């Protein structure tokens, strides 16, 4: 409801069309349905809890950013996307803190938070491209995550659990911050493209490290016990 109201009110300040509210509300509905279908697998508690509600609130804000895809590529739209994305990032970490404080941290909550961040990165990458702030290559910033997931369907070893990593979390933050700056109308296209390219290289290196770790873990587990002694 809040997304529908906010996206409708946005027409008073931004040159967005009537479909903006439909797009934003539809994105949030899809995220909510996806989360509801996955909650039983990794959430062992009998209540959703404030942490997941915070993540859902962040998802609502991300839906407002996604809805701006396809709207006029003008500075006011880019500024709005940047401002909302910055707010999403400022709220990042609050859901994890709430989960730990309430003793309701779960695999579902961690995955929900990660997927919201991934959707924001994809949306910002698309906006950076559509607003002429970077070439089509910037879409790889968002597609790497979804390609990694798709790779797990083809090669199951890619979907094996990864150990917790501060490096992974930090690079996610860096990616969002750099894409926010790239989309912002305050940054000239040549600088925004350079910044987005640097962030993409770092992100690709992080994925390469994870794939390498999973590859080594796969082959180590496949070795005979006699070789492991």
Domain count, the chain: 1
User: Which of these ranges, 20-34, 93-107, 187-201, has the smallest mean pLDDT?
Assistant: 93-107
Give the pLDDT confidence score for residue 47 in this predicted structure.
65
pLDDT digits (tens, 9 = 90+) for 156-178: 999 998 888 889 989 999 999 99
Q: Closest Cα to residue 120, out of 52, 64, 80, 38?
A: 64
Instruction: Report pLDDT for 229.
Output: 42
Q: What angle do CA 101, 65, 122 make, to 5 degrees?
A: 85
Confidence category of residue 28, pLDDT binned at 50, 70, 90: very high
Distance CA 88, CA 176 (A): 10
Q: Place 146 in a pLDDT band, splitting at 50, 70 and 90.
A: very high
Which residues lie below 8 Å from residue 125, measured CB to CB, with a gap of 6+?
Answer: 138, 139, 140, 141, 142, 143, 179, 196
CATH no. for residue 149? Answer: 1.20.120
Please state, for a pLDDT cut of 90, what percent of the chain lies above it. 64
pLDDT band per the 50, 70, 90 thresholds, residue 228: very low
| Cα separation, 27 vs 59, whole angstroms | 9
Q: Write down the pTM of the prediction.
A: 0.90
Comparing 116-125, 156-165, 182-191, which segment has the lowest mean pLDDT?
Answer: 156-165
In which domain, by residue range, is 121 found?
Answer: 2-228
What is the distance between the terminal CA atoms of the chain, rounded to a whole angstrom? 60
Per DSSP, the residues of 137-183 read GGGHHHHHHHHHHHHHHHSGGGGSPPPP-HHHHHHHHHHHHHHHHHH
């Amino acid at each position: 409801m809040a997304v529908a109201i906010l996206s409708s009110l946005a027409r008073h300040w931004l040159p967005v069309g009537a479909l903006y509210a439909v797009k934003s509300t539809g994105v949030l509905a899809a995220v909510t349905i996806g989360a509801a279908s996955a909650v039983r697998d990794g959430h062992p508690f009998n209540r959703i809890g404030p942490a997941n509600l915070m993540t859902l609130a962040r998802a609502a804000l991300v839906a407002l950013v996604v809805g701006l895809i396809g709207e006029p590529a003008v500075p006011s739209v880019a500024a709005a996307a940047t401002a909302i994305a910055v707010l999403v990032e400022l709220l990042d970490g609050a859901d994890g803190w709430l989960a730990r404080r309430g003793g309701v941290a779960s695999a579902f909550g961690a995955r929900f938070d990660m997927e919201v961040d991934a959707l924001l990165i994809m949306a910002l990458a698309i906006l950076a491209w559509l607003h002429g702030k970077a070439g089509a290559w910037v879409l790889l910033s968002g597609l790497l995550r979804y390609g990694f997931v798709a790779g797990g369907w083809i090669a199951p070893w890619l979907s094996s659990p990864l150990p917790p990593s501060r490096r992974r979390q930090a690079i996610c933050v860096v990616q969002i911050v750099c894409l926010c700056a790239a989309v912002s109308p305050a940054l000239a296209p040549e600088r925004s493209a350079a910044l987005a390219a640097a962030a993409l290289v770092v992100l690709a290196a992080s994925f390469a490290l994870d794939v390498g770790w999973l590859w080594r873990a796969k082959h180590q587990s496949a070795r005979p016990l006699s070789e492991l002694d």
